[in-house]
Amino acid sequence: MGMAIVTGLSSDRMRLDLARKLGADVVIDVEGEDPVTTVKGLTNGLGADIVFETSGSAPAMRQAIQVVRNGGQITRIGHGAGEMKVNLDPITVRQITIQGTFSHTWGNWEGALKAVSSGKVSVKDLITHSFPISEWRKSFELMERQESVKIILYPEH
C-alpha cells in the first residue's frame, strides 16, 4: 500500500490538520518545507506514482510535475482561473501522463452517496459548520477566511 502525502499552504492549516486526522501519512506546508525535496526523500528519489492536483493553481501544477515520478500520472481535479503558464517539456521528456477529471457527474454523486449511506465513508469530520440558510453570508465569510472545510446550510423551519 502506498503512502498518502498531502501538501498545502499555511492558510490551509485547518485542511492540513484534517488530512492528518483522516489518515494522511505526511502533511507538508509548502511555505515552510520544500515538498519536492520531502517527496523525493520519502520515495528514494523516484517521486510520487500518482499526484492529484486539486487546487487549479499554476504553482500547484508545477509542483505536481516536479514531484511525480518518471512515467507517473497527474490527475487534475481543480479548476483554475483561466490559462496557466506551465512548462510542458518535462511531461514529454519524463513520459508523465496528465488526466483531467470532472467530479460532478451523476455516477460520481451516486457512488459517493452510496459510500456515505453504507457507512464505508464518514463525512462527519469534513463538516466544520452548520447554519440555517438565512446565515449564508456568514458561511461564505468563513470559507473566504479559510476557517471551514465544508459547511451545511439547512432550510429554516
User: 38 and 81 share a domain?
Assistant: yes
Question: CA-to-CA distance for 127 and 144, rounded, in angstroms?
Answer: 16
- Considering the domain architecture, whether residues 55 and 27 belong to the same structural domain is answered as yes
- For the stretch 96-111, pLDDT in tens is 999 988 767 888 889 8
pTM here?
A: 0.78
pLDDT, mean of residues 124-145: 92
Residue 5 in grid coordinates: 502525502
* Residues 64 and 125 placed together within one structural domain of the fold: no
Q: Label each residue of 17-63 as H, E or C.
A: HHHHHCCCCEEEECCCCCHHHHHHHHCCCCCEEEEEECCCCHHHHHH
Strands of the sheet containing 48-53, edge to edge, are: 48-53, 68-76, 97-100
For 47-58, how does the pLDDT look when each residue is reduced to its tens digit (9 = 90+)? 999 999 998 888
Confidence (pLDDT) at 82: 76
- Domain hosting 63: range is 5-100
